[in-house]
Structure 1
Amino acid sequence: MSDALVSSPNKTPKKVIGVAIAAAIGGFLFGFDSSVINGAVDAIEGEFALSPVLLGFAVSCALLGAMTGAWIAGPFADRQGRVRAMVLASILFAVSAVGSGFAFGVTDLIIWRFIGGVGVGMASVLAPAYIAEVSPAHSRGRLASLQQLAIVTGIFAALLSDTVIANAAGGASEASWFGLEAWRWMFLAETVPAVVYGILALRLPESPRYLVAKSDYAKAGKALVEVVGIQTQEGVDKKIAEIKETINVETKQGLHTLVGGRRWLLPVVWVGILLSVFQQFVGINVIFYYSTTLWQSVGFAEDDSFTISVGTSILNIVVTIIAILLVDKIGRKPLLLMGSAGMAVGLLAMAITFAQAIVTPAAEPGGDPVVSLPDGWGVVALIAANLFVIAFGMSWGPVVWVLLGEMFPNRMRAVALSVAAAAQWLANFLITTSFPPLADVSLVLAYGIYAGFAVLSFLFVWRFVEETKGRELESMHA
């Protein structure tokens, strides 16, 4: 739909800002659900006696759910509306939180985490698509970046709540309130934001673009007046006409809209898919899923490891705010290029740091060897990891979601975003599942691979990504 839907070319209506913030709450749950497992990993491993491979799957099974949720979100939102899809996502979050908290075995834990993942995948598609469809071009990048700010805030909230719950109980495996282990309360805490998200979603106006696609011009006109701020009937009629020009209301949206000649995917779809894949193949979620365990493995105490993880998530919030301030000023492509360069340096430094690790044989037969970093190298590892987080947080974190919400033509936006997001979650799954066994082989190898993908991401953006700063959604082409 048209994104130039404001009465003033230089002013963003307060209603749009409020609506964008409410829609971005899905991103908060996205981040919370993704990272709440962080503080519970070791406790779950001990509770169910998991091997490294099964532990990796227990952590990453939610990503398969997210891939599924992302795949179905676009078609569902095109048929039932953005708002109903958000409400469904909130229900899935709540069900997953309760089920995971009361899991009696690894099998049902995996099932509940998968269900929560479906909610995550849906939220990852719905928020950027919805925000892009109600935002003016001059501030679309900032408003769409609220999704990533909400994600990193959700990550922080999950890590903070994990830390508070674990410290109160004396450890993630220890009994807490009502006799339940602390790690179970980590999952149950998610029910609060899930309910809040559902209530807020019910209060959101439907996307004018969806309403036009359904030929409900009266409600679309009302949304253009009340949300977007168009003041005249002439202006409303003009915008509805512009929306109709860029969608075919007679043709159903579907995967067929993504295909060009010779039945191949259109170039813009491939660019979206590869942006999603590179965002994950640099290994960012290894930091947020396994950071507590990682820092413990190289000599930090459990309390210190939790604190480091929370500090990293706060840093991620700060740099995301910086990205929000910059994305509409210097553009999407320059931020991605700078981010790729910074990530490559940080990841290479981490690989070099872990090459210095000292491995001490286990004190008892069958025990795990003790890994530690020599004096000074632990600090270097922290600096390198945070440099990586800074580079990602001010570039690939928010900017990829901005681009995915705006780069596709109106006729295919929700469906194309679903495909790209599904590819992102599949890539996330592959990285997250492979990390524990890969780390058992060599952390140097793991971070060396991620550094290589950071270099490739720079070359990809330089060659194939088009700048979209300030462009109308109607000008996006396939």
Structure 2
Amino acid sequence: MNDAKKSKTYLFSIVMVAVLGGLLFGYDTAVISGAEKGLQAFFMGADDFVYTDTWHGITSSSALLGCIIGSAISGCLASRYGRKQSLFLAGIMFFLSALGSYYPEFLFFSYGEPSYSLLLAFNFYRILGGVGVGLASALCPMYIAEVAPSNIRGTLVSWNQFAIIFGQLVVYFVNFIILGDNVNPVVEVVEGVNKVINPDAAAWAIETGWRQMFVSEAVPAGLFTILILFVPKTPRYLVMSGHDEEALTVLTKINGRERAKQILADIKGTVQTKTERLFTYGWLVIFIGIMLSVFQQAVGINAVLYFAPRIFESMNIGNPMVQTVFMGVVNILFTLLAVFTVEKLGRKPLLICGSIGMAVGALGVAFSNLATGISPLIPVISIMIYSASFMFSWGPICWVLISEIFPNTVRGTAVAIAVAFQWIFNFIVSSTFLPMYNMSAGDMGEKFGHIFVYGLYGVICIIAAVFVWKLVPETKGKTLEDMTRLWKNRQEQNK
């Protein structure tokens, strides 16, 4: 009994360290939601260039460029240096990004004087943090999947998504506390040009608030960087590196001696070489992994998460920061729903139900803007339905599938490619949201943009449901080696 308890304690302790990387993922990507309005007003004060909505969309999303880079190189780093060392590198990048985003003037510029060059420096630090996010987004679920027993793998990988959403909720609270009684600036278009309305009232948010929001990430980033040094390398990486005895030691601590020997033999049976060619098991598995990532972002969720206060403000119902925090709480609760049902209901049913729920929510917001005399509560509730549906489906389940669907010998490279596509589409969605959201047309004014963008996301959600139904295999209860055999058999049948 004591051995079993010790085994679970060991497993859960190393998983908790890994999911801290997920928390940083959520923290880093959502911190912009509270800081973006102060940041926008700050750079609008520059004399050497005009800070337009397009510039602001790029700056708000610049970390995603780093995410693309980080996820793209994650496979190479994971295969060459291991999952653990690569996560340590990600932690250092998180930490440096937090400090640099707080003080982008470091060494080269005068404090508090916005300019085009300072904008580039700020974006450099945000991209650096994005590289860390990209690495963590690919490697944290991969690490958890490679140490977890098959019967609880989906649950443990889902905890990584819980950590992402919890990180977003934490930063919503932190931003709310930092802003305190101060007010965010109001930016309006005056004679075709963005203007800050009454900048004196929002002076603290423009000069200091956004800086404190970014630097707050240094605390969890430093903690993660230290703790990751104490977790083991994954058994599957150790076997691929020729360290069978060390792999057996880790497996024994998690599964017990006899089960560990069986798992080790199974791993060795599917890992003849350290890597194989990407399409050794056919193109379909790679296509499905990529499209899972594409749909997770194309449904538009991160546009809502990054610009939540701005969206709620446009609905004219209460304090937008309070509503953002409330949405974060709802997101947490529905992510827990996935954590506790993924091994019972399976991956596909959750994805399909979530897609339908998101479509209902997104089309509800579009309809609210199209109709007249609708209560402002309707679009708020619709946004909550849309967000909650994502949180029990595409949020956690996409990561679960990406971490377990690929064969062992191509997993590092395949996950890197799939996650890179995820961040590419995250950037596309996030950088185009504001221009589309603010589109005007005839008598409808800006409502046209609101209808268009949510109608588009709703249609994509429906397409995503059909994709999952037709093409995605169910992985519930299967070992990673079972998935290797599944794709190998399909490849042989197609020859």
User: TM (normalized to structure 2)?
Assistant: 0.85
Q: Deviations over 1:205-254 (max 9, x none)?
A: 1101111111012211221222x13225xx544432221111123xx53x
Please say if residues 30 and 306 of structure 2, whose CA atoms lie closer than 8 Å, have aligned partners that are also in contact. yes
For residue 171 of structure 1, report the CA deviation from its aligned partner. Answer: 4.2
Amino acid across the alignment from 1:239: I
Partner in structure 1 of residue 120 of structure 2: 107
In the aligned structure 1, how far is the partner of 2:207 from the partner of 2:56?
21
Q: What does residue range 144-293 of structure 1 map to in structure 2 within 5 Å?
A: 144-171=157-184, 173-175=202-204, 181-226=208-253, 228-232=254-258, 235-249=259-273, 252-253=274-275, 257-260=277-280, 266-293=283-310
The question of whether the paired residues in 1 share the 8 Å contact of 2:315 and 2:379 is answered with: no
The Cα RMSD (Å) is 2.0
Structure 1 residues 441-468: Cα deviation after superposition (integer angstroms, max 9, x where no partner):
1110000100010010011011001100
Q: In the TM superposition, what is the alpha-carbon distance from 1:170 to its structure 2 partner?
A: 4.6
Aligned to 2:19: 24
Specify the alignment match of 2:93 in structure 1.
Answer: 92
1:306 aligns with 2:313: no
Question: How far did 1:12 drift?
Answer: 7.6
Question: What residue number does 1:342 align with?
Answer: 357
Output the CA distance in 2 between the equivalents of 1:467 and 1:403: 9
What amino acid is the match of 1:450?
Y
* Cα distance in 1 for residues equivalent to 2:338 and 2:262: 33
Amino acid at match of 2:278: L
CA contact (8 A) 1:67 1:121 kept: yes
Contact 1:12–1:136 under 8 Å retained in 2? no
Of 312, 322, 339, the match for 2:337: 322
Is the contact made by 1:27 and 1:123 (CA closer than 8 Å) also made in structure 2? yes
1:423 to 405, 414, 421: 421
Greater CA drift, 28-37 or 133-142: 133-142
Any idea what SS the aligned residue of 1:13 has?
helix
Deviations 1:281-321 (A, max 9, x none): 111011110111122233356xx111111110111000000
1:449 paired residue number:
456
SS of alignment partner, residue 464 of structure 2: helix
Cross-structure match for 1:361: none
Show the counterpart of 2:314.
297
CA–CA separation in structure 1 for the residues paired with 2:271 and 2:413: 13
1:121 matched to which residue of 2?
134
For 1:359-374, list aligned pairs within 5 A: none
Residue 192 of structure 1 aligns to a residue whose secondary structure is helix
Q: Provide the residue aligned with 1:367 in structure 2.
A: none
8 Å CA contact 1:90–1:194 kept in 2: the answer is yes
Report the CA distance between 1:109 and its aligned residue.
Answer: 1.2
Return the offset for 1:78.
1.2
1:133 aligns with 2:143: no
Contact 1:271 1:464 in 2 (8 A): yes
Quick one: distance in 2 between partners of 1:419 and 1:397?
A: 18
Structure 2 partner of 1:472: 479
Q: Determine the C-alpha separation between the residues in 1 that align with 2:266 and 2:68.
A: 33
Q: Whole-Å Cα distance in 2 between the matches of residues 431 and 56 of structure 1?
A: 10
Is the CA contact (8 Å cut-off) linking 2:37 and 2:184 kept in structure 1? no
* Farther-moved stretch of structure 1 (237-246 vs 337-346): 237-246
Question: Cα offset for 1:14?
Answer: 2.9
Contact map agreement 1:134 1:207 (CA 8 A) in 2: yes
Given candidates 366, 384, 387, the residue that maps to 1:386 is: 384
Aligned partner (choices 431, 455, 461) of residue 468 of structure 2:
461
Deviation at 1:169, TM superposition (A): 4.3
Amino acid at match of 2:358: M
Identity of aligned residues (%): 36
Partners of 2:376 and 2:301 lie apart in 1 by 19
Q: CA deviation at 1:197?
A: 0.7
> 1:355 deviation in Å?
2.4
| Counterpart in the other structure of 1:363 | none
Seen in structure 2, the aligned counterparts of structure 1 residues 168 and 12 have a Cα distance that, compared at 3 Å, is farther
Tell me: CA distance 1:141–1:411, structure 2 relative to 1, closer, same or farther (3 Å).
Answer: same
Of residues 26, 34, 37 in structure 2, which corresponds to 1:39? 34
Unaligned runs of at least 5 residues, structure 1: 1-6, 358-373
Cα distance between partner residues in 2 of 1:236 and 1:165:
49
1:134 CA displacement: 1.0
C-alpha contact (below 8 Å) 1:12/1:139 kept by paired residues? no
Q: Contact 2:67 / 2:423 at 8 angstroms: preserved in 1?
A: yes
Shift of 1:194: 0.2
TM-score between the two structures when normalised by the length of structure 1: 0.88
Q: 1:93 to 1:453 in 2, by over 3 A?
A: same
Contact conserved, 1:337 with 1:461, CA < 8 A, in 2?
yes
Q: CA offsets, 1:255-294, max 9 Å, x none?
A: x622259xxx621111011011111111101111011112
Give the partner amino acid of 1:84.
Q
What SS does structure 2 have at the residue aligned with 1:181? helix
